[in-house]
Structure 1
Amino acid sequence: MPVYRLFPWGILGIGGILAVYLLAQLPQMEQSLQHRRESVAAFQPNRTKWLTDDRLVDAIAGVPLHSRMLKVGWDHAILAVDLQGGKPERVRDDIGKLVLFAYSDTSNIKQVLIRVYGERGGSRELLLAAETRKDDWTERNLDELRLPLTGDGMELPDHIRFTLTSQGKRWIANFANS
């Protein structure tokens, strides 16, 4: 068999060995690329979060609340949240978290409305309603809200205006007595 007939087979064999060698190098190349991606991700610019209809569910789901959310609404820079009432201290903590989310984590919420409902006889009854506006808060007030709240009941900062219903007063009294 002449040599010129073996030449294409030799090139094919060398090409195959070269391909196998290069494929074996892919994991090492990926690790170096992944390292570069991680270092770039650490230097992302600080972005202001805007709450929109499209992002409402994802943004609110990121707020770690004790109480179950019954309803969330977003209309003309007003965030409205309905909560299921549990322990008054936990509800008070949740109200603080929602205010911090609205005025620290986002920049386009002007007012927060929160209603807390209890269950009685298979139907919901309003226990309390809370309202606050962004203009009422300074950075210092928001920093104070980040501190753990002390005391029992529903003592909230003066910047949060809330109204207790007669059922809400009984709700707080029941937890205070237990």
Structure 2
Amino acid sequence: MGWHWESTVIAMVAFGLLYWLLSKYAFGPLFEVMEKRRQLVLEQMNTAESSRKAAEQQMEEQKAALQQARKEAYEIIEQSRTTSSKQAEEIVQTAKSEASRLKDDALKDIESEKNKAIAALRTEVGGISVKIASKIIEKQVDEKSQEQLVGQYLKEVGNK
């Protein structure tokens, strides 16, 4: 078997023609599709990066907002504690002053009733003394009868 240069040339021409046809109709569109795909992947990577950055920024903003909300809640709690302490003190002070006022009123009422009772007792003792004196004058009794008479009137006074 010999070597034929014609078949080598024909093979080379066929290979060149095949390469040219593939370049024009297959490789060109294929490379275009691959380039478009590469551009799409790059765009998606850039979009993903910007989305990641935006998500990180939103996360930081949410952390700051949460921290601010916690601070405000703590301030509200502290303010409520202060307000409730003040209100408790005011209530206690009001109750003390009301109790003091009621005590003073009660003491005044007791003193007034005491004075009325003393005045009534003086009046009654005066009336009893007059009755005893008139009875004694009427009866001119001895000492024993006089003691019985005083005892009787004292019992009457005690029953009233």
Q: Normalization by structure 1: what TM-score?
A: 0.26
Greater relative CO, 1 or 2 (CA 8 Å, sep 6+) = 1
Higher strand residue share = 1
Higher helix residue share = 2
Q: Normalization by structure 2: what TM-score?
A: 0.28
